Amino acid sequence: MAVLADWLDRLGDRFDGPGVGAIALLGSHARGDAGPLSDVDLLRLTDGNRLPDAGSHLVDGRLVVVGDAAPAEVEAWFDRPECAVANIPGLRGGRPLRDRGGAFAALQARAWRFVWDEAMQRKADAFAREQVIGWAEEVHKGLAGLASGDVSRLLDAAFGLSWGLNRAVGVQRGVPLTGPGGESPGWYEQVEQAVGPEAEWARLRRRAFGLDGSPLGDRVVAGLRLYRATVELLGDVVDTPVVRDAVRLIREARLD
């Protein structure tokens, strides 16, 4: 442990520089559950100037990923639900390597005070509505791909109707910030717990992701049905003409 601590301290020196207010260790290394293939996630709080060494580095055989955040970006983490679910859990578990003036300590305390309130839920609903409207295009691609056998269209549809819908529902549910203690095993399990493992939505999502070994065409069929199930799950939140028409097309395709 002492060797790792010394290495992390040297890492802090390497990525420090003008305009850096703090450097924090995030992710598995901060939590203490890193494995041999775990990357090292560093967050730098900056003054807004772009630094040349952000990104991925190989340091002593370890993958080190350096992410920079200027004040405006940090504010978005507490204002936009899709940013909050992606960043606040990491801030809560982070560990400072450099912290001038207590910048990271203050940010971490703010992350722990953060509450998923009604105003944030309204924004999450709006995000989910925008996403489901956007993925209506994948409904068209999926149906066209099934009719023509066009693999490119099927692959496009398979992505949007699995990853895209998963993100829409995950953000709308505030995962993982609204779960017990804000913690659970991983993003896939977190969303499943929020919706319910036995729900039809969860079953269709498993198939849309191909976790049961389904071929591409069957995954797209499951994704199309998942789109319809997502609309049913979110109800009035996503009720728009574009979404209603996409659901109509899925029903008329008689995929059940």
The verdict on 50 and 145 lying in the same domain is no
Burial of 179 (0-12, 13-18, 19+ CB in 10 A): middle
pLDDT digits (tens, 9 = 90+) for 124-147: 999 999 999 999 999 999 999 999
Greater confidence (1 vs 156) lies with 156
CATH, residue 93: 3.30.460.10
The pLDDT score that the predictor gives to residue 180 is 44
Q: Are residues 47 and 92 in the same domain?
A: yes
Two tokens at 225? 């049905």
State whether residue 211 is helix, strand or coil.
Answer: coil
Residue 49 has pLDDT above 90, yes or no: no
Range of the domain at 59: 2-113
Q: What is the count of structural domains for the chain?
A: 2
Structure tokens at 210: 């191909």
Per-residue H/E/C for 10-22:
HHHHHCCCCCEEE
Distance (Å, whole) CA 228 – CA 139? 10
Structure confidence at residue 2 (pLDDT): 62
Pick the last residue of a domain from 88, 113, 138: 113
- Among candidate residues 18, 67, 19, 21, the one with its CA nearest the CA of residue 40: 67
Residues 203 and 167 in one domain: yes
* Separation CA 212–CA 226 (nearest Å): 15
Can you give the pTM of this predicted structure? 0.92
**Which residue is associated with the tokens 């209603």?**
244
Query: In this structure, how many other beta carbons lie within 10 angstroms of the beta carbon of residue 102?
Result: 13
| Side chain identity at residue 81, one-letter code | P
